[in-house]
Structure 1
Amino acid sequence: MKKSTKFLAVFLAISVIIASFSGFTYYDGLGNVYLDSEKKIFDGVTYHEQIGINSSNGLEHAFFVEADTASGTVKPMIFNGEVRSMATVGTMANYAEQQGYKVLAAVNGDLFDTATGTPKGLVIHNGNIVTSGYAPDRVIAFDSTGRASLQYVNVSYGLKGTLAYDDASTGTVQKVQAPFSAQINYYNVPHGAAKGLHLFNRHYASSTKTAGSCIEVVVDCGSQDNMQLQIGKTIKGTVKSVNVDTHNTPIGENEVVLSTVSGSATASQLYCMVVGSEVEISVADNANTGLANATEAMGIYYSLVENGNVVTSGTGLNPRTAVGIKSDGTVILYVVDGRQTNSKGLNLVQLANHMKSLGCTYAFNMDGGGSTALYSRMPGLENTAGRKNTPSDGAERKVSNALLFVYQAGSSDNTARNLNLYPSLTLAMPGADVQINSYASNGLFEKVSLPGAVSYEVEGGNGSITGNGLYTAGDTEGKVNIIGTAGDISGTTQVEVVKNNLTILPSVSALYLDAGQSSDINLSVKSGPISVVSSDKTFTWTCDQNIGTIDENGLFKAGSKNAETGNIYAVYDGYKITIPVQVGALTVDFKDTANHWAKTYIGSLAARGIANGMGNNLYLPDAQLTRAQFLALLAKTVDNVDVSKSNPAGFTDVPANEWYYGYVNWGYENGIVSGMTDTTFEPNANITREQMAIMLCKFATSQNLTLPQTSAGIKFTDQSAISPWASDYVSTVVGAGIINGQPEGDFQPQGLATRAQAAKVMYVYLNVRDGVNK
């Protein structure tokens, strides 16, 4: 049976859910976990994925990497780049690879000023201070052995130099030089309202990026090493120039620049510094916290767990990033997705409890929300680390810094040492087929070629597996170990056979088709929130004789007579799914569609309650369609949807007393639409053909439907007129045969869609969704 479409219909006729199944685990904070997979990705490093249901929030999807950073093989690294720049975690990982490191995992780091990219907290890399941060408080720090700890920041930056000024105390004006000292308020932090004394070097940017009237003193430190600030150390340099009423002074590779705004408390001191005189800049750990031993450090947003106790509060659900330290010194890089239908996110207390349940005695909340991103390299499968979570913004956000687990790249070793089997953990019904794939890696878990053919065996005999790795699940419920061997290396993976406690949903909730048409019906099976691989032959398929026939794979073919109604039945283990069928779809006739080209599409949708007339038995097929009206069409194809329960989107032009209020909220909540601006939606604006394509694609995604590409690669004469952000969506709906171009060969992306055109689009979409074929 061809599996070309997958549509997760609203629950129709069966729901078989009992408290738990054999793989059930409970984690405080996250909830009931139904998938808990683990994969070794390096010596002392494992990658984990958990999917569960939180009793308060609903579905949650967490990803984390555990690493023994104190073993000496894995190095923790804080990556920042220039302070006045931002990059995605992926870009930072790629840069580290270019510098001769291999990245095992990476996670976004500290909160930051989105305007400048400056981190909130202290940053140390390779023992050198990158920035003091604009509001330093606490950091996660790593010493030279890689051992992690929580450290409080009480660091001061001192300046000593020489001033030259006019002394008239003896009655005669004389030039006098005298030593002075001052406190540097910020290091590699932009000027702010405090009018403090700032220090910059090339960790910050190529210039001070100041504005207005400033006094900036350039100090030559002689070498790049000598301009690096370290806790407990003093650097020395020579005043190169004193620049008055200036700004944005260039910073040389060997230089530091002292800067303050004109009129500040320290402006007169900088003004009087002597060119050619010596300057000393020192950094002191005032509380002897242990920061002097830190080779890497990064600020934290909130402390979650200290000494095994939850020390936070907060009820807002968000995507979260956290770093934890277990009692044995193992460090966890953790993210949980949020603001998505398949993962709602956690509040701070839930996050703290989950980190604690994973064994953390210390845990810290980092920058979350749209910044949340975790990368990990999967052995044998990937040459470089790839992002594992899904950012809530839809694309990865640029951030200020990241924490990476790396090791030093060495000479290439092509010897296969490990056999890595994928997927890591799969749930399957008896009789279902699961494809197992094997990849080899060397002693550093880097991708290499297989040493030969892979042979497989099923431990315990629960099922069978072919020489190509196709496992057919047995009848005994529980975890099954599958072992692969190639030469003298071997590896394992698991499939969990599940028979009970399942939710089974049909791909169609009701079927509308004409005589002689067919529909390939699929069943979606889940154990809790986890998809279960199933086989159509696991179910017994029958249908009422008057409507047609159905085979053992769920392929239904309508009979030769129209105006027939009946049901399709799928039975598993005594439970029955019933799907109503209408052969020869009912129709509604409007006065103005009797001779219209779209009569069939309009009449069918109207009979199903999807399309409505405009009063007086008129449909107005050639009238233009609004953005809100098309949203309503989409919503009405989903069974039992209640748009009144959707959270307000907050658009100022969508008042609560308008008919479309609930539909716009529903569309926004499900990621189908966004505003025309941050505050407006323009519900009554006529929808363009490319806007319709975008909404339709995002709607299909929200319904877990992959549109089959049966006509891919079509190009139009006005291809360049399609907006860049709409191009992929247009290609997808055109490739699925849902929206066609014009007879002249163009698409007319900004052309306004009519009500008739929208009816045809929805009619074809429903046939694609329901697998209806001629």
Structure 2
Amino acid sequence: MTVSTPDLSRFRRAGVIAAATLAAVALGVVPGARAEAAAGTLPLGDGELTEVRTDRALADGVTLTRIVRGTEPAPADQVNITTRGPWVVNVLTIDPSKARGHLQATYGPKLSQVEKTTDLVRASGALAGVNASFFTFTASQLYPGDPVGLGLFGGKLLSEPTTDPAEVNFVVDANSNRAMTGKLTWSGSVRNRQTDATLPLEFINHPPVVPGGCATLADQTQCTLPGDVVEFTPEFAAATPAGAGTEVVLDRLGCVVRTSTTRGTTLATGQTSLQATGRDTVALLNATGQGCVSQTSTLTDQNGEELPVRPGLFGVNGRYPLTADGQIVVPAGSGSFFDRNPRTIAGTTRDGKIVLATIDGRQTTSVGTTMDETAAVAQALGMDDAINLDGGGSTAMSVEGALVNRPSGSTERAVGDALIYVDGPYRSGN
């Protein structure tokens, strides 16, 4: 354990890891000012605050660091503005040059459902993990775990990145533990092999919306308003979303197994389905009418270079970059999202380490961080490239099956997916 108070030196930043077998993704945001702090301390609150750090080796190349900055609980009415803290930060550092295991993402039994981070860690036989992607969340939804953005699991793209400019992604190759951050885009289509009729796909594993003007039409082929075209895989749920529209089930070769004028069916292993609503129902029937289709699905970085999707590749979504090439790049913003909240961070250092961190918040025992403060923490922890994952009540870190942080709600929240460290080599199907 170390106890530090400020001195005259400054912390030294680390740089960016070359992604090697991964395509490099430029963040493309304007660098901002660098934060400053005394060596070994976090740039949070008043400079003279006492900071206590406790290090614990979890496995070869894997370290858990607990940082407590500030010694007195905050007044309940000062949590959002106090400069005295306290702040509680848990940091999981993975050194690929020493670690025996691998980092990956997991969503549990079904993509569309939610599980607690601790349960995802335990069920995977993982050593540790943190919550990851933003997800639908609303408990009244049939599919609360549906990722709001990228969901890439073992080389299978199960959720496409959105066009929201705020979305930013964390991608890791479990075979090498090399990771990158950046903004990915996606395009997909189906093409009839006999007629060449082509239909763009809009979503993967995301319930389609029936156009409001056609909500009363049981036969969506009579609708003149545009709808959605979505691909579904067996990983999504026990059955595909039911409702008005059309659905075409394909076998593993892309050939039509069955066609229905309503939506909702069970998919066998190896099958996928295409659903359409609105006038897109007609286009779907035309594109699949002659038996077999070929599908395209392409992930691209913002430089226009394709990111090959291969076994062992995992990716999750976040909102806003925090650092890039060692510089703070979080955009200016206002409102509750940018105010002090619990935070979860993922990033990489210049020398190739992967860092996952949680910051407890909305409590008198840990007040949380604004987006600017979160970026400063990421930089101080040596994360040259870092992104903001889902936070708030979702923020959780589990080690050896137990929570090591204190979630802001009365209980741990069930989430869509998690980044987990498994202390062993990656094997397809893990």
Q: What TM bracket, shorter-length normalisation?
A: 0.7 to 0.9
Larger-gyration structure (1/2): 1
Matched, 1:67 2:90: no
Distance in 1 separating the partners of 2:50 and 2:357:
16
Distance 1:71 1:24, change over 3 A: closer
CA shift, 1:51, in A, is 0.6
CA shift, 1:74, in A, is 2.2
Paired position in structure 2 for 1:504: none
Question: Which secondary structure does the structure 2 equivalent of 1:408 belong to?
Answer: coil
Matched to 2:409, the amino acid is D
| Maintained 8 Å contact 2:45/2:85 | no
Question: Which secondary structure does the structure 2 equivalent of 1:218 belong to?
Answer: strand
| Maintained 8 Å contact 2:153/2:313 | yes
Distance in 1 separating the partners of 2:367 and 2:56:
25
Deviations 1:26-50 (A, max 9, x none): 3213663421111111111111001
Question: Which secondary structure does the structure 1 equivalent of 2:255 belong to?
Answer: strand
CA shift, 1:135, in A, is 4.8
Bigger fraction of residues in helix? 1
Distance in 2 separating the partners of 1:259 and 1:370:
33
Question: Which secondary structure does the structure 1 equivalent of 2:368 belong to?
Answer: coil
Deviations 1:36-68 (A, max 9, x none): 111111111111001113962521111111001
Distance 1:297 1:362, change over 3 A: same
Question: Which residue, out of 153, 166, 169, partners 2:184?
Answer: 153
Distance in 2 separating the partners of 1:30 and 1:241:
62
Distance in 2 separating the partners of 1:21 and 1:62:
18
Counting only pairs closer than 5 Å after superposition, residues 47-66 of structure 1 correspond to structure 2 as: 47-53=64-70, 56=83, 58-66=85-93
Distance 1:270 1:58, change over 3 A: same
Distance in 2 separating the partners of 1:348 and 1:274:
47
Question: Which residue, out of 285, 288, 294, partners 2:299?
Answer: 285
CA shift, 1:289, in A, is 4.6
**Structure 1 stretches of 4+ moved >6 Å:** 21-24
Counting only pairs closer than 5 Å after superposition, residues 25-174 of structure 1 correspond to structure 2 as: 26-29=41-44, 32-53=49-70, 56=83, 58-69=85-96, 73-81=100-108, 82-97=110-125, 103-115=126-138, 116-135=144-163, 137-143=167-173, 144-161=175-192
Distance 1:190 1:33, change over 3 A: farther
Q: Which moved more, 1:33-42 or 1:192-201?
A: 192-201
Deviations 1:589-615 (A, max 9, x none): xxxxxxxxxxxxxxxxxxxxxxxxxxx
Matched to 1:256, the amino acid is T
Distance in 2 separating the partners of 1:86 and 1:30:
35
Paired position in structure 1 for 2:372: 349
Matched to 2:294, the amino acid is E
Matched to 1:92, the amino acid is L
Distance in 2 separating the partners of 1:29 and 1:191:
44
Question: Which residue, out of 225, 239, 248, partners 2:264?
Answer: 248
CA shift, 1:271, in A, is 2.5
CA shift, 1:311, in A, is 1.1
Distance in 2 separating the partners of 1:399 and 1:216:
29
Higher relative contact order (CA 8 A, sep 6+): 2
Paired position in structure 2 for 1:587: none
Counting only pairs closer than 5 Å after superposition, residues 193-592 of structure 1 correspond to structure 2 as: 195-211=227-243, 213-221=244-252, 236-244=253-261, 246-261=262-277, 263-264=278-279, 266-272=280-286, 277-286=291-300, 287-292=304-309, 295-312=313-330, 313-314=332-333, 315-377=338-400, 385-408=401-424
Distance in 2 separating the partners of 1:365 and 1:21:
27
Q: Which runs of 5+ in 2 are unaligned?
A: 8-37, 71-80, 139-143, 212-225
Distance in 2 separating the partners of 1:295 and 1:71:
20
Distance in 1 separating the partners of 2:360 and 2:388:
14
Matched to 2:296, the amino acid is S
| Maintained 8 Å contact 2:199/2:284 | no
Distance in 1 separating the partners of 2:97 and 2:203:
32
Counting only pairs closer than 5 Å after superposition, residues 745-756 of structure 1 correspond to structure 2 as: none
Q: Using structure 1 for the length normalisation, give the TM-score.
A: 0.43
Distance 1:398 1:79, change over 3 A: same
Deviations 1:486-515 (A, max 9, x none): xxxxxxxxxxxxxxxxxxxxxxxxxxxxxx
Deviations 1:491-541 (A, max 9, x none): xxxxxxxxxxxxxxxxxxxxxxxxxxxxxxxxxxxxxxxxxxxxxxxxxxx
Distance in 2 separating the partners of 1:198 and 1:50:
45
Paired position in structure 1 for 2:199: 182
Distance 1:132 1:207, change over 3 A: same
CA shift, 1:284, in A, is 2.1
Distance 1:21 1:250, change over 3 A: closer
Distance in 2 separating the partners of 1:30 and 1:67:
28
Distance 1:282 1:308, change over 3 A: same
| Maintained 8 Å contact 1:141/1:291 | no
CA shift, 1:109, in A, is 0.5
Distance 1:288 1:409, change over 3 A: closer
Distance in 2 separating the partners of 1:290 and 1:272:
31
Matched to 1:28, the amino acid is P
Distance 1:156 1:92, change over 3 A: same
CA shift, 1:152, in A, is 2.4
Distance in 2 separating the partners of 1:134 and 1:204:
18
Matched-pair identity in %: 23
CA shift, 1:84, in A, is 1.2
CA shift, 1:25, in A, is 5.4
Question: Which secondary structure does the structure 2 equivalent of 1:405 belong to?
Answer: strand
Q: Which runs of 5+ in 1 are unaligned?
A: 1-18, 98-102, 163-176, 222-235, 378-384, 411-774
Distance in 1 separating the partners of 2:389 and 2:50:
24
Q: Using structure 2 for the length normalisation, give the TM-score.
A: 0.75
Deviations 1:236-273 (A, max 9, x none): 321011111x1212222221000011x32x21122235
User: How many residue pairs were aligned?
Assistant: 348
CA shift, 1:291, in A, is 4.9
Question: Which secondary structure does the structure 2 equivalent of 1:254 belong to?
Answer: coil
Cα root mean square deviation, aligned? 2.6
| Maintained 8 Å contact 2:231/2:272 | yes
| Maintained 8 Å contact 2:163/2:185 | no
| Maintained 8 Å contact 2:59/2:99 | no
Distance 1:134 1:208, change over 3 A: farther
Distance 1:366 1:355, change over 3 A: same
CA shift, 1:154, in A, is 2.1
Question: Which secondary structure does the structure 2 equivalent of 1:389 belong to?
Answer: coil
Counting only pairs closer than 5 Å after superposition, residues 630-649 of structure 1 correspond to structure 2 as: none
Distance in 2 separating the partners of 1:24 and 1:259:
56
Distance in 1 separating the partners of 2:415 and 2:322:
22
Distance in 2 separating the partners of 1:210 and 1:40:
49
Distance in 1 separating the partners of 2:289 and 2:306:
37
Matched to 1:271, the amino acid is L
Matched to 2:259, the amino acid is V
